[in-house]
Structures are given as C-alpha cells and as structure tokens.
C-alpha cells in the first residue's frame, strides 16, 4: 500500500539580495579584490564585486561582496550578499518549513518568525539546519 504523505520539499535558495555593511568590516576583509564588470566601467556610479576567496576567478553580480563607488561625491558603500534559504528544520520549538537569511560574511542572520512578522535572531536553529543553510547559501 502506498503512503498518503506528500514528499518533503527539497531545500532551495529562494532569493539573493545585498545588505549594507559597515565600511570598517568591508575594509578589514582579507583578500578582497574588487572587479568592475565591463558593463559598469566608466559610469558615474561604479559597481564592483569581490569574492571571499583569494584565488577565485573574476567576480560579478551574485558574488559575496559588492562595492558602490559614487564619483560625484566620492562616497563608497559596501554590501554583503544575503541569500534567503527555504529548508525544513527545527526552530521556535517545532519542526517546520523555515525561511533562513544567510549573510555571506556574517553567517546566519535570522529565521522568519510568522508570529512576529519579521526575521529574528532569537531562535534555536539546530546545528544541522544551520549547516544546511550555510551550505545552500554558499
């Protein structure tokens, strides 16, 4: 006889975006080599990307770090890639489908709390779920 249970949804990365980093954190990262893609070269606002790896190939959109240099006022802003990962795990004392935001530099940022209506770091994400989220986001 067949089982009536539905198969579990596979772990996935649902969204990738960038979150602003303090300038001191970004400048202290080792091996940050900033690559400006050809489409961004010579613009007033120049966008460059970087890997966290020393020996990586040329960086582009979707990599771990992003730098925005505005030539009009000479300001520089740094961003880290934040991936939203959907996985099945235990947090808030129950096993359920979770949305976990993972920062490329900072690690796990938070778990979506449907009761509070925002991402929270006050949770008990299991070590196994944390490892799966970090592996998916990298």
Residue ranges covered by each domain of the chain: 18-81, 82-137
The structure's pTM equals 0.73
Summarize pLDDT for 30-49 with one digit per residue, the tens. 767 888 998 888 889 999 99
What's the confidence (pLDDT) of residue 47?
A: 93
Summarize pLDDT for 51-101 with one digit per residue, the tens. 877 666 788 888 888 999 999 999 999 998 888 888 887 777 777 788 888
Is the pLDDT at 19 greater than 80? The verdict is yes
For 113-133, what is the mean pLDDT? 79
40, two tokens: 């961004």
Q: 1 versus 24: which is more confidently predicted? A: 24
Contact indicator for 82, 18 with CB cutoff of 8 Å:
yes
Is the pLDDT at 7 greater than 50? The verdict is no
Is the pLDDT at 133 greater than 50? The verdict is yes
Please tell me the distance from the alpha carbon of residue 103 to that of residue 29, in angstroms, as a whole number: 14
Contact indicator for 63, 75 with CB cutoff of 8 Å:
no
Cα 29 to Cα 45, 84, 85: the distances in Å are: 23, 23, 24
């Amino acid at each position: 006889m067949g089982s009536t249970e539905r198969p579990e949804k596979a772990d996935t990365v649902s969204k990738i975006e960038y979150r602003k980093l303090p300038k001191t954190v970004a400048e202290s990262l080792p091996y940050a080599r900033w690559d400006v893609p050809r489409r961004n070269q010579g613009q007033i606002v120049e966008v460059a990307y970087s890997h966290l790896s020393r020996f990586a190939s040329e960086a582009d959109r979707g990599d771990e770090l992003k730098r925005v240099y505005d030539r009009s006022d000479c300001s520089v802003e740094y961003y880290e890639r934040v991936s939203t990962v959907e996985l099945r795990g235990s947090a808030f004392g129950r096993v359920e489908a979770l949305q976990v935001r993972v920062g490329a530099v900072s690690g796990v940022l938070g778990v979506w709390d449907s009761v509070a209506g925002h991402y929270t770091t006050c949770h008990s994400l299991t070590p196994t779920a944390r490892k799966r989220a970090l592996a998916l986001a990298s």
